[in-house]
A and B are shown apart, each in its own frame.
Chain A
Amino acid sequence: MRRCKNMLRKNRKTGRLKIADWRVSSLLFLLLLTGLAACNGRESAWPRIQQEGVLRVGLDPTYPPFEVDTGGELSGLDVDLAQAMGADLGLDVAFSYFGYDGLYDALATEQVDVLLSALVIDPARREDFAYSEPYFNAGQILIVRQGETAVTSMTDLANRTLAVELGAQSHVEALEWSRKLAGLTVQPYTTPEEALTAVLQGEADAALVDGINGRLFLRDNPGLTYTANPVTVEPYALVVRIEDSELLDHLNDSLARLQSSGELDAIIAKWLGE
C-alpha cells in the first residue's frame, strides 16, 4: 500500500502535465487507477478455488426458507442455489456459519470466498464488496384474489382497502401511497397471514406484503395471486470481495446458465411456490 501512496505522490510532484492535454492526463489517470487496483495487496481467489476445487460459502443459517440449520442439517433456497452453482462450476461447496451482522466481516477477512445468505444489495458497501446479478426480489408485492382484473397495480387502489402487516415496511409503504391516492384505506393486521386472509375473505381488496411471506402464503393457500410488477425492489445477490472480479464473473455466468436452464426458477419454486 505504501508503494501505491508513493506512486500517487510522484504523479502529483511532477506537475508538468498540461491541463489541456486531456488525452495524456486521461491515460495517466487510467494507469493510476490500474496501479491502485493492483496494489490492494490481495490476490484473486479464483485460481485457488479452482486449484482446491472448493467454493467456501458463508451464510447465517437462521433465515428459513433461505437457510436454516435444523439439528445439524442445513437446508434452504440459498443452500440449493449454492450447490447448483457449485455443480455448474465443477466445484464442491463448503458452508460456514456466521451471525447475520458478522457476514461481511467474515468475507473481508477471507474466511469465505462468497456470501450467499439472502443479502440485499447495499450500494454503501460497493467500495469493498461486489454483488452478483440479483437472483431473487424480496420487495413488497401486491396480492389480490385470483381472477381480480380491476387491481393490477397500486394506482388501482383508489377508494379501495389495502391490508398490511401492522408496523411492517409494507405498512410504511402503504401509508405513503395513501397520501397520494384518494380514498385508499390502509387496514393493518397483526401478522402478514391475517392481512392475506382478509383478502381471501373479501375484507380487503388487496394486501401489500413482502415477497417472501406473500409467496409462502400463496403456496399454501389457493385463491390468491400476485400482480405482475413488484411494488418495491429488494434484490438478493451473492457477495464477493471487491478484488474478486474473476470469481464474480464466473458466478454471474453460472447464475445466467441456471436462469436460462430453468433451474433457478425451480429452486425458488421448491421453497416459495410457483
Chain B
Amino acid sequence: MTRPAYKSGLRLFTLALILTFLRPAPLLVTPGPPQTVVTQHPILGTHTRLTDEVEEWKIKRSLELVREMGAPWIVEFFPWAYYAAEDGSYAWGHPDMVVAHAAAQGLQVVARLGLTPEWARPPDTPLTYLDESAYDDFAAYAAAFADRYRGRVSAVIVGNEPNLSYEWGYRPTSPADYVALLKEVYTAVKAANPDMQVLAGALAPTLEPEGSPWGLNDLAYLQGMYDAGAAGYFDGLAVHAYGLTFPPEAEPGPDILNFRRVELVRQVMVDNSDADKDIYITETGWNDHPRWTLAVRPAQRIQYTLDALQYAETHWPFVKMVAIWAFRFPAPQKSYMDYYTLVTPEFVKKPIYEALQEYAQEK
C-alpha cells in the first residue's frame, strides 16, 4: 500500500520548519572598540589570507592575533573578479567586513588588487589575464576601492608578480604593458583619493632571462618599467623577498635569489633617480616543510625570520614594511604552503608566532 505523497511532503515540511526554529541564531560579531598595536618594531607586518574566509568571527580573530603579535601592518588581497559586476556595480560586503575589523584592531592595510572578472577578459583566458581593453575597468575598480576605504587602507598594489607569465595571464611578460596599466590605475586612484599610496609590483624574485616562457628577471623587469616611463606613476615599490635556503645576511648577487636581493632592486631605483621612494616587502619568509627542497628546519626558519627583520630595520631605511607570508590560511593547503604560516587554520599559534610576538615587544 502506497502512502499518499502529500503526507510525506507535509512531514518533511514540518521537520524542516522545526529544524529552522531549533537552529541557533547566527553569531553576532562586531568590530568592537578601537584597539592599538603595541610594538617596538613598526616595520613588522604579515600577509593575511582573508579573501576566502567566510566566517566573520574568524576574520576578527585573525586580525586580533595579528595585533596581539605586535604587527601594525597587514597585506590583504581584494580580487576585482570577486566584487565587480559588468554593470559597474560592486559587492563590497566582504571587503567592508575585512577593512572594518582591521581598522578596529588598529592595523594599517596594504591592499593587493587583481584578478580579472570573466566579463573583462576574452573567453578561455585565466583569471590573471588582463589586457589593455580592460585597463580602464580595472582602474575604475581601483579608484572606487581607494575612494571607499579612504583613511582605512594605506596603499594599493597594482596586480601581483607581473614579471611572471603565470601572473600575466600565461602571456610573455611585458614591462611596457604593465606600465600602461600602472598609468591608468595611478591616475584614476589619485583622482579618487590623492592620499592613497599606489605601489607597483609586487615583483617576484626570479632569474628568468629575456625570452623565457616563465617570466623575466625582476631586476631587468624593473629597469624595463623605468624605460617605459613608470617613475611618475607609483609612490612605492612592492617586492617579494624570499630567503629560500639562505640565511638573511647572505650576500646578494645578480645570479642568486635570497633575502638581500632587495638591495639589488633598490640599486635599480637609485640608478633611475628614484631613490626617494619606499620599498614595501609585501611577502617574505622561510619555509619549514619537511620535504620541500627549498625549505629549512623549523628552528632555522624562526631564527632567519627574526634576523631578517633586524637586518631590514638596521640596514634598509628605505624599507617601510616587512610582511611575513602568510599569517594563516582558512583551510589547510595540504602542500608546502602550510609551512609558511604563523597560525594554523584552527588558530593554534605556531612557535614562530610566539617568537615574533616576543621580538615585537623587545627594544
B252 within 8 A of A: no
Q: How many residues of A contact B (CB 8 A)?
A: 25
Query: Could you tell me if A175 and B299 are in contact, using CB atoms closer than 8 angstroms?
Result: no
Bound form: Cα–Cα A10–B293 in Å = 51
A172 within 8 A of B: yes
Query: Could you tell me if A188 and B351 are in contact, using CB atoms closer than 8 angstroms?
Result: yes
Q: How many residues of B contact A (CB 8 A)?
A: 27
B2 within 8 A of A: yes
Query: Could you tell me if B334 and A124 are in contact, using CB atoms closer than 8 angstroms?
Result: yes
Query: Could you tell me if A172 and B344 are in contact, using CB atoms closer than 8 angstroms?
Result: yes
Bound form: Cα–Cα A188–B2 in Å = 69
Within 8 A of A (CB), among B208-249: none
A150 within 8 A of B: no
Query: Could you tell me if B299 and A172 are in contact, using CB atoms closer than 8 angstroms?
Result: no
Query: Could you tell me if A100 and B299 are in contact, using CB atoms closer than 8 angstroms?
Result: no
Query: Could you tell me if A167 and B2 are in contact, using CB atoms closer than 8 angstroms?
Result: no
Count how many pairs of residues, one from A and one from B, have CB atoms less than 8 Å apart in the complex.
61
Q: Which residues of A contact B3 (CB under 8 A)?
A: 20
Within 8 A of B (CB), among A7-55: 18-21
Query: Could you tell me if B2 and A175 are in contact, using CB atoms closer than 8 angstroms?
Result: no
Determine the residue in chain B with the shortest Cβ distance to A167. Answer: B298
Query: Could you tell me if B5 and A167 are in contact, using CB atoms closer than 8 angstroms?
Result: no
- Contact partner of B292 (CB less than 8 A), chosen from A100, A166, A210, is A100
User: Chain A binding site: helix, strand, loop or mixed by DSSP?
Assistant: mixed
A60 within 8 A of B: yes
Query: Could you tell me if B293 and A62 are in contact, using CB atoms closer than 8 angstroms?
Result: yes
Known A-B contacts A19-B5, A166-B298; the reply to A122 vs B291 at CB < 8 A is: no
- Contact partner of B350 (CB less than 8 A), chosen from A62, A172, A191, is A172
Q: Which residues of A contact B350 (CB under 8 A)?
A: 167, 172
B336 within 8 A of A: yes
Query: Could you tell me if A20 and B291 are in contact, using CB atoms closer than 8 angstroms?
Result: no
Known A-B contacts A167-B288, A171-B298; the reply to A20 vs B351 at CB < 8 A is: no
Query: Could you tell me if B334 and A167 are in contact, using CB atoms closer than 8 angstroms?
Result: no
Known A-B contacts A171-B298, A191-B297; the reply to A100 vs B351 at CB < 8 A is: no
Known A-B contacts A19-B9, A191-B297; the reply to A167 vs B351 at CB < 8 A is: yes
B273 within 8 A of A: no
Bound form: Cα–Cα A167–B290 in Å = 12
CB distance from A45 to the nearest CB of B (A): 24
CB distance from A194 to the nearest CB of B (A): 9
A168 within 8 A of B: yes
Within 8 A of B (CB), among A81-125: 100-101, 118, 122, 124-125
B20 within 8 A of A: no
Determine the residue in chain A with the shortest Cβ distance to B293. Answer: A62
Determine the residue in chain A with the shortest Cβ distance to B297. Answer: A191
Query: Could you tell me if A101 and B9 are in contact, using CB atoms closer than 8 angstroms?
Result: no
Q: Which residues of A contact B2 (CB under 8 A)?
A: 18, 20-21
Query: Could you tell me if B299 and A190 are in contact, using CB atoms closer than 8 angstroms?
Result: yes
B328 within 8 A of A: no
Query: Could you tell me if A172 and B348 are in contact, using CB atoms closer than 8 angstroms?
Result: yes
Known A-B contacts A62-B293, A101-B335; the reply to A166 vs B5 at CB < 8 A is: no
B301 within 8 A of A: yes
Query: Could you tell me if A167 and B336 are in contact, using CB atoms closer than 8 angstroms?
Result: no
CB distance from A137 to the nearest CB of B (A): 15
Determine the residue in chain B with the shortest Cβ distance to A165. Answer: B298
Query: Could you tell me if A165 and B299 are in contact, using CB atoms closer than 8 angstroms?
Result: yes
Query: Could you tell me if B348 and A176 are in contact, using CB atoms closer than 8 angstroms?
Result: yes
Interface string of B287-310 (1 = CB under 8 A from A): 010111100011101100000000
CB distance from A171 to the nearest CB of B (A): 5
CB distance from A128 to the nearest CB of B (A): 13
Bound form: Cα–Cα A100–B350 in Å = 24
Query: Could you tell me if A100 and B336 are in contact, using CB atoms closer than 8 angstroms?
Result: yes
Bound form: Cα–Cα A249–B298 in Å = 39
Q: Which residues of A contact B351 (CB under 8 A)?
A: 166-167, 171-172, 175, 188
Determine the residue in chain A with the shortest Cβ distance to B290. Answer: A210
CB distance from B121 to the nearest CB of A (A): 25
Within 8 A of B (CB), among A171-195: 171-172, 175-176, 188, 190-191
Q: Which of A20, A165, A175 has the most CB of B within 10 A?
A: A20
Known A-B contacts A100-B292, A172-B344, A176-B348; the reply to A20 vs B299 at CB < 8 A is: no
- Contact partner of B352 (CB less than 8 A), chosen from A19, A101, A167, is A167
B314 within 8 A of A: no
Interface string of B329-353 (1 = CB under 8 A from A): 0001011100000001000101110
Q: Which residues of A contact B (CB under 8 A)?
A: 18-21, 60, 62-63, 100-101, 118, 122, 124-125, 165-168, 171-172, 175-176, 188, 190-191, 210
Given contacts A60-B291, A171-B298, could you give 12 more A-B pairs where the C-beta distance is less than 8 Å?
Answer: A19-B5, A20-B8, A100-B293, A100-B336, A165-B299, A166-B298, A167-B288, A167-B350, A167-B351, A168-B288, A172-B348, A188-B351
A-B contacts, 22 of them at CB < 8 A, read A18-B2, A18-B5, A19-B5, A19-B8, A20-B3, A20-B5, A63-B291, A100-B336, A118-B291, A124-B332, A165-B298, A166-B298, A166-B299, A167-B288, A167-B298, A167-B301, A167-B352, A168-B288, A188-B299, A188-B351, A190-B299, A210-B290
Going nearest first, the 8 A-B pairs with the smallest beta carbon separation are A167-B298, A166-B299, A190-B299, A20-B8, A168-B298, A167-B351, A20-B3, A18-B5
